[in-house]
Structure 1
Amino acid sequence: MTRPARWAIVLAAGVALLAVGAIAFSIGRLSTLGDPTPTDASVEAGFARDMQVHHHQGVELAMIVRDATDDPDVRLLAYDIATTQAQQAGQMYGWLAEWGLPQFGSEPSMAWMTGPAEGGGGHDGHGAGVGEADASGHAPGEPMPGLATPAQVEELRSLDGVEAERRFLELMIAHHAGAVEMAEAALDRSDYPVVVSLAESIVSSQQSEIALMEDMLAERS
């Protein structure tokens, strides 16, 4: 595929993702109407902020590999991941807008995740103090589970063909596992309807995709 053709595909995909995000933003705002408003330091707000960051990197990794391979199965998987995670990120952006909360809060990342799991009802809960890890071993301000490092992202950018496919699958399996961990932490700490619904969807869909990607990786070993 020529470079101009690749850029045309990337541009078209980017426009599609922006449209998906805009629609999801509107849905996210409407979906929270009638429910109590979470606070800035709540589990719900922390989850919405951190999972947006996590999903944005998922979209980035997916779009990198879509431009690095001609394999139809990998390209289809990457497109599905990018569109799904862009849509979900748009939803969470919409939640925060509807709640009147900033997209970037005063709490460090993962503060909501490191507090005690009480089986839901964490609307006003705070996480552990900065630098204090909970029983899961996470501490507020540390990188979210499963995030690729900047060096790993740049490594993926440098590859193409089967090498890019393998590295993408390795990174995305870890990325999905981290998202599942975050979603399960939200389910343990919140009973807010839209948060529970999205977290359950993330756990189900990404566990299924992990199994698929493990098979795809084995085929390329």
Structure 2
Amino acid sequence: MDESTFVLVPMFNEATVVGGVVRALRAHFANVVCVDDGSRDDSFDVARDAGAVALRHPVNLGQGAALQTGFDFLTRRALPERTVTFDADGQHRVEDAVAMVEASRRSGVDVLLGSRALGSATDQPVARRLLLAAALRYSRWSTGLDLTDTHNGLRVLSRRAVELIRLRQPGMAYATELESIVGRSGLSWAEHPTTIAYTEYSRAKGQSNLNAFNILCDLTSQRLRSAS
């Protein structure tokens, strides 16, 4: 049982699956923190009953805001050796998280990013693949990082990385913002193969074309504010 790593799980209306996700994680990690981002269902209670520390936003703010709430919570406590970010919808494999933590310890890298391009993505819709390809091109251009994947919610962050990362993008655009922080802060980084399982449930919860457009607008707005 890994007691030096905390797993941070943002969630929004995930009551039907998050209990199983938490229990699977707690078979390997002693500390799981779920941030309920204003869910309208019983996600908070289900996660807490499954053994997670549960935090709650009174209204829905976005996944980036939920992760930052989790980072702030860990910072107030005394930052753990490593923090894993892990999606609540069941598309990540716990064994990948375990392998990434071990790889992070061996290498000492500050940020280890999961990559489905180096691993695999099962039952990925064609439209999702095209959207991710476009997002990857944008991320490479805007961050300067030679990434093979982007917007993969499975990551391992060192104590130093969590101290430096302050997410201002509340929604899904936070993923590219996080990569930009890595690029300009001098944090060491690497990628690690992961498997993403696109179930009927996770596909229904995934990003629509409109959400992808909103991400692009958020990132463009941020770049314009930074330049002014």
Larger radius of gyration: 1
TM-score bin (small chain): under 0.3
Q: TM-score, normalised by structure 1?
A: 0.28
